Amino acid sequence: MEDDFLKFGKSTKLRYGENPHQEGWFYEIDSESVDPLAIQNFKVLQGKELSYNNYLDMDGALFALSHLGSVEAGCVIVKHTNPCGAALRENLTDAYKAAWYDGDPLAAFGGIMAVNREVDASLAEKMIENFFEILMAPSATPEALVVFAKKPNLRILTNEALKNPLPATAKAMHKIRGGMLVEDADTALFSVEQLKTVTDKKLAPEELNDLLFAWAICRSSKSNTVVAVKNKTLIASGVGQQDRKRCAELCVTKAGERMKGALVASDAFFPFRDATDVLINAGVSAIIQPGGSIRDQESIQACNDSGVAMALTGVRAFRH
């Protein structure tokens, strides 16, 4: 680790911290300012002052969008650091509509949005029909900024680097009582070729691509988590639960009938087949998970008995 790893630069006093009774600051880290997607490298075009929680959610949105990449137009909506809407499409308008309306519109209310394409006036008009706190985009046309000005409190941040969002490579840090935990950044990229199908039912190419999308969103959500997708669109998630069965149950509850035919990702293995059964009974068509449980075969057998496909990544994706 570099000697100047924890050298801090400019600091910004925030309105308050995570809650109004706490004070808060944003300290730039000198060694990370070279990251094109460092928060301080965004240009604030309008809106009220950014809050402590805004910074946290923006970081979560950048993490998720970075793992979706730039090949297709992408939109991610984050609430309390977790994606609650996400989609990839041929154009940004379709990606936005899918992310907001096919995801969890209730959770998206008041959220943070990040996109990887320029926003034009037509899309801006559609966006301001809904309430969200921040839009992060590569750019916005002058006409779009006129539209956004109708919502003066809405923060608009632009950064050309969002055209090609990449995961951060700097060390990740978590302050704990008595010290600092430091680890390598979670930058591992996955391809279809790396997935191992372990069930009798094999996966079609479009299903494999959907599973990779599900994995990208799953690894961007707080553990434990189970997420469900269709057509490169997040439709429901069960995040931040202490047991995997409850993750699956929460995801199913949110998705309802949309769970039928969905593809599901789990950030860690299934310690028992109970969570797998919850998903199978809800009608999912495929599951992606790391594998590695001593009871993996029980979950695989449950899928085989029901004609559901399962693929393994071989890599866990906890995010705390």
Number of domains in the chain: 2
In a shared domain, residues 124 and 256: no
Domain boundary among 163, 179, 205: 163
The residue type at 114: A
Give the helix/strand (H/E) hosting 41. Answer: none
Quick one: pLDDT band at residue 285, thresholds 50, 70, 90?
Answer: very high
For residue 302, give the 3-state DSSP assignment: helix
What pLDDT does 7 receive? Answer: 81
Examine residue 48 and state whether it is found in any structural domain, yes or no. Answer: yes
The mean pLDDT value of the chain amounts to 95
* In contact, 76 and 68? CB cutoff 8 Å: yes
In a shared domain, residues 102 and 224: no
Mean pLDDT across 69-78: 97
- What Å distances lie between residue 84 and 6, 301, 306, CA to CA? 32, 31, 29
In a shared domain, residues 233 and 276: yes
pLDDT single digits (tens) 255-272: 999 999 999 999 999 999
In a shared domain, residues 198 and 152: no
CATH of the domain at 82: 3.40.140.20
In a shared domain, residues 76 and 132: yes
pLDDT single digits (tens) 102-125: 999 999 999 999 999 999 999 999
In a shared domain, residues 16 and 152: yes
% of the chain exceeding 70 in pLDDT: 98
Examine residue 65 and state whether it is found in any structural domain, yes or no. Answer: yes
Mean pLDDT across 131-158: 98
What pLDDT does 9 receive? Answer: 84
- What Å distances lie between residue 307 and 95, 209, 298, 303, CA to CA? 31, 19, 14, 6
What pLDDT does 82 receive? Answer: 97
Q: Quick check: 6 pLDDT over 80?
A: no
| Interatomic CA distance for residues 291 and 297, integer angstroms | 10
Q: Quick check: 196 pLDDT over 50?
A: yes
Q: Quick check: 5 pLDDT over 70?
A: no
Instruction: List all residues 6 or more positions away from 213 whose beta carbon is below 8 Å from its beta carbon.
Output: 68, 88, 229, 232
Q: Domain residues for 287? A: 192-312
Mean pLDDT across 92-100: 98
| Interatomic CA distance for residues 251 and 247, integer angstroms | 6
In a shared domain, residues 196 and 153: no
Q: Could you tell me whether strands 286-289 and 263-266 are parallel, antiparallel, or unpaired per DSSP bridges?
A: parallel
In a shared domain, residues 159 and 216: no
| Interatomic CA distance for residues 32 and 280, integer angstroms | 44
Max intra-chain CA distance, the chain: 59
- What Å distances lie between residue 257 and 167, 235, 309, CA to CA? 34, 11, 19
In a shared domain, residues 45 and 115: yes
Q: Quick check: 231 pLDDT over 60?
A: yes
Domain boundary among 163, 178, 202: 163
* In contact, 161 and 36? CB cutoff 8 Å: yes
Least confident of 19-33, 88-102, 109-123, 152-166: 19-33
| Interatomic CA distance for residues 74 and 94, integer angstroms | 9
Q: Quick check: 3 pLDDT over 60?
A: no
Mean pLDDT across 44-60: 97
Instruction: List all residues 6 or more positions away from 89 whose beta carbon is below 8 Å from its beta carbon.
Output: 72, 73, 95, 98, 232
Examine residue 183 and state whether it is found in any structural domain, yes or no. Answer: no
| Interatomic CA distance for residues 138 and 271, integer angstroms | 41
Quick one: pLDDT band at residue 1, thresholds 50, 70, 90?
Answer: very low
In a shared domain, residues 155 and 271: no
Examine residue 320 and state whether it is found in any structural domain, yes or no. Answer: no
Examine residue 261 and state whether it is found in any structural domain, yes or no. Answer: yes
What pLDDT does 202 receive? Answer: 93
Q: Quick check: 291 pLDDT over 80?
A: yes
**Could you give the dihedral angle defined by the CA atoms of residues 278, 316, 166 and 45, in that order, rounded to the nearest 10 degrees?**
50
Examine residue 186 and state whether it is found in any structural domain, yes or no. Answer: no
In a shared domain, residues 217 and 78: no
In a shared domain, residues 145 and 12: yes
Examine residue 210 and state whether it is found in any structural domain, yes or no. Answer: yes
Examine residue 31 and state whether it is found in any structural domain, yes or no. Answer: yes
The two structure tokens encoding residue 10: 């400019």
pLDDT single digits (tens) 200-226: 999 988 899 999 999 999 999 999 999
